[in-house]
Amino acid sequence: MTIRKLFFLFWTTLALGTLTAPLAGGLLQLFFGPLGIDFVYLLWAGLMFGAIAQMGFFAYMVFNMVARGFIRNPYLYQGLQLLFTVLVLVNIFSTPFRLQGEETTSFTLHLVLPLTILIVSLIVAWFKMKATNEMGFIPALFFMVAATWLEAVPSIEAQSLEMMLLMVLTLMACNTWQIMQLHRLLEPAKTSTNKTADRGETNKHKGKKKKKKKG
């Protein structure tokens, strides 16, 4: 991955976070009523969430590189990722019930946050598998669930389901963009030198075929 590609991922993720937070805030107001947050605050919050998503993404990249060095068996590594994904999901499903000051929040609303993370993560993992291969499903699912939840820890302290959903929705948009761009950014670019070499090889093969035909 080149510096140019990293810079592209950097500014596009920040831009996506800045755009997603106001949209997510407007959507939440339709269901939960006024959030008491102005538009400028949502823009700055989205920018900050985008930066947090990038830190989480690069932390995952380092973790993935180190873990692969210790665990050489890809199936064992995927099995561990799936196990940790399940453990994180269990924690997500139990966390909203520990919130304080949510006396009127129903059981159904308590399931909104974990179900949102689970459903979006499954959809993203499926698209990642289609874009790469079958081995890309579990790592994408693990990243979308575990990374998003760890990145959203600051919103848990607010003890507000609306604030948690605002941060989680923005983070998931940024994380989706990053994980879907990863395989594209890692693809080696075909330089002009390589193209010239390929043409030379093609011309050689054509020349050999002509000689064989003459012989």
Q: Which two tokens stand for residue 88?
A: 């994180």
Taking residues 106-129, what's their average pLDDT? 85
| Residue 196: inside a domain | no
| Residue 207: inside a domain | no
| Residue 212: inside a domain | no
Task: Report the number of distinct structural domains present in the chain.
Answer: 1
| Residue 110: inside a domain | yes
Q: Which two tokens stand for residue 22?
A: 């106001």
Taking residues 144-155, what's their average pLDDT? 89
What's the rounded Cα separation, in Å, for the pair 13 and 69? 28
Instruction: Tell me the pTM.
Output: 0.80
Q: Which domain holds residue 28?
A: 3-187
* Residues 118-133 pLDDT 10s: 999 999 999 999 998 8
| Residue 209: inside a domain | no
pLDDT of residue 197: 44
Rounded to a whole number of angstroms, the distance between the first and last alpha carbons of the chain is 48
| Residue 90: inside a domain | yes
Residue 196's pLDDT band (boundaries 50, 70, 90)?
Answer: very low
* Residues 163-192 pLDDT 10s: 888 899 999 999 999 999 988 887 765 544
| Residue 97: inside a domain | yes
Q: Are 141 and 192 within 8 A, CB to CB?
A: no
| Residue 213: inside a domain | no
